[in-house]
């Protein structure tokens, strides 16, 4: 799937890439597994630490699942100017199509906290959406 990209006012760039995992899915049992890779790049002038995440995952039946937690994949990465951090995680839907959106809470070296929006991206079994 194509990468999606967004930049916020603090110079934080979020790129997303989604993959459907048929070998972990059970289509007959309405279990559709997706991995997503997020690349966070700091194009700003000061360091920023990722403190927490908030995800809103919506399936095709409009069932919403919210996920909140500290850091990502067990880490709270500190991104210095021009540094990137990439991680891969996953989610399970009961429909072939859904969306994810969310935000990261970041903190600068001087303690200022700010949210970085993660724009909505689509989770879709190949050949379902054209």
Task: Report pTM.
Answer: 0.89
Q: Which two tokens stand for residue 60?
A: 């095709």
* pLDDT 10s digits, 26-85: 999 999 999 999 999 999 999 999 999 999 999 999 999 999 999 999 999 999 999 999
Q: How far apart are CA 28 and CA 38, in angstroms?
A: 29
Closest CA to 60 of 100, 34, 98: 98
3-state helix, strand, coil in the chain (%, to 5): 0, 65, 35
Q: How far apart are CA 106 and CA 78, in angstroms?
A: 9
Starting at the earlier edge strand, list the strands of the sheet with 12-20: 4-7, 12-20, 32-42, 84-93
Q: Which domains does the chain have, with CATH numbers?
A: 4-124 (2.60.40.1470)
* pLDDT 10s digits, 73-115: 999 999 999 999 999 999 999 999 999 999 999 999 999 999 9
């Amino acid at each position: 799937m194509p990468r999606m990209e967004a930049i916020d006012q603090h110079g934080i760039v979020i790129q997303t890439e989604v993959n459907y995992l048929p070998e972990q899915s059970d289509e007959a049992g309405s279990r559709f597994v997706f991995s997503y890779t997020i690349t966070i790049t700091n194009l700003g002038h000061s360091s920023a630490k990722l403190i927490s995440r908030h995800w809103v995952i919506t399936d095709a039946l409009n069932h919403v699942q919210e996920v909140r937690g500290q850091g990502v994949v067990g880490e709270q990465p500190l991104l210095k100017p021009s540094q990137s951090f990439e991680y891969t995680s996953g989610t399970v839907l009961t429909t072939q199509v859904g969306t994810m959106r969310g935000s990261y809470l970041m903190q600068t070296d001087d303690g200022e906290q700010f949210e970085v929006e993660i724009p909505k991206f689509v989770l879709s079994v190949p050949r379902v959406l054209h």
